[in-house]
Amino acid sequence: MKRMNTHATTLNRRTLLRGLGTAIALPLLDGMSPTRCLTAAAAPTNAAIPMRMAFLYVPNGMHMPDWKPSQEGSDYELPRTLKELAAHRADFNVMTGLALKGAEAQGDGGGDHARSVAAFLTGAHPKKTDGANIQNGVSVDQVAADAIGSATRFASLELGLENSAQAGTCDSGYSCAYSSNMSWRNATSPVAKEIDPAKVFDRLFGHGDGGAVREARATRHKYRKSVLDFALQEANQLKDQLGVLDRRKLDEYLYSVRSIEKRIVGTDKLDATEEGVPDYPRPAGVPREMQKHADLMLDMMTLAMQTDSTRVISFMFTNAGSNRGYPELEVREGHHELSHHGKSEEKQTKIATINRFYAQRFAYFLERLKQVPEGDGTLLDHSAIVYGSGISDGDRHNHDDLPILLAGRAGGRIQTGRHIVYPKKTPLCNLYLWMLQQAGAPSEAFGDSNGVIDRLS
């Protein structure tokens, strides 16, 4: 039987390709298996593949008639918004009946948008204040990061498309810290998110102290070099240790890195580093078009998970209560304004258009994860990805029967392709408690959980 790998050396899972200011983590290769020589019929064991988790937040709730399936089980009909995910129907579950008690007013009056995102990953009820005395809870991603983060280069990544704020008033007397952050290290410390894909790329593939990284970046810009050009020698040496399939996998991965890097550089203007180059300042690297911005950030998330640079990611498409317009969708009114549709047919049509746009971006992310082979499956198969909002109907501002999807099979722990209906007001934190236990962060309770979610497997 033909052998796929012929060298006896086992690669370390933490192997990096290094060059000037560069450290490129590698995807999971067959050569990282304890059994280095594999036959064509063999595959690396899934037991050694870690479970990744990610949490993606969309603002202002959903147009629920276009979201919630009318049938339970595996034969449900996809509503209009979820039809954007039709190609991945077998890879996710729609979870109905989950609730976020911490986002309810509980006597505090207005501020549902701020509470919805502050409670989304914590399950806590944030203290109503716009001062420095903010009080919330620890978020599920940070609990996981504390437990399993030492196994990766980054304990967690906090990303988004709009800047975080740590002060100011954003929603009916609630601090902007609540509205713009969903990851909380402790009750008084929100974790600010990174919105610049170029900076995320530099974090993933840069190496050394800040000065060295800046110098290396300037050198790459001067000679129009890629991060890969500086690690090419080590990459070629590594290929000599790999079998045919691993070489192909490495080539595909490096091609993906270079492709994304080109797209990021394409958002920048050129520096005047040599004669004849236009003297334009280099901007932050954030694309003006939301779709390009979102897709680059989702690509960064894929690379971070693929290289096991982190196993925990949170991502906010926009901040809570966002009122941005979507002229690219021919929707010029603000999102928040439209969510208060008052049963206006025109406004409901436009809010549904925005919902479908976010679903399309999520479909893009799932497709990227499915393109990465791991073991006898894909990167998505070894992940648990939560997508949804802390508000159900944006007009009602209710926090029960939330729009929640759970994508991925968590290494075989989840049976996907179903619409699962839970008893009304089942805590969303019951799902988070299950995820913590499966990811290697055993906990007896989390947030307002009253048990561990069932019916996933």
Model confidence over 412-441: pLDDT tens digits?
999 999 999 999 999 999 999 999 999 999
Asked if 55 contacts 394 with a C-beta cutoff of 8 angstroms, the reply is: no
Of 398, 424, 327, 420, nearest in space to 64 by CA = 398
**% the chain with pLDDT above 70:** 81
Tell me which of 56 and 255 has the higher pLDDT.
56
Looking at residue 59, its pLDDT comes to: 94
Instruction: Count CA within 13 A, CB hemisphere, residue 306.
Output: 27
Q: HSE-up of 307 (CA within 13 Å, CB side)?
A: 25
Return the H-helix or E-strand segment holding 359: helix 345-370
> What CA–CA distances, in Å, run from 49 to 13, 26, 40, 44?
10, 14, 20, 9
Average pLDDT over residues 341-367: 96
Q: Residues 94-124: pLDDT tens digits? A: 999 999 999 999 999 999 999 999 999 999 9
First to last CA, the chain: 36
- Residue range 160-166: mean pLDDT, rounded: 92
**What is the assigned CATH class of domain 18-25+46-197+290-439?**
alpha beta
Confidence of residue 276 (pLDDT cuts 50, 70, 90): very low
pLDDT at 26 (0 to 100) = 75
Asked if 314 and 214 count as a contact pair (C-beta separation under 8 A), the reply is: no
Any idea which residue has 């619409």 for tokens?
A: 419
Give the pLDDT confidence score for residue 51 in this predicted structure. Answer: 96
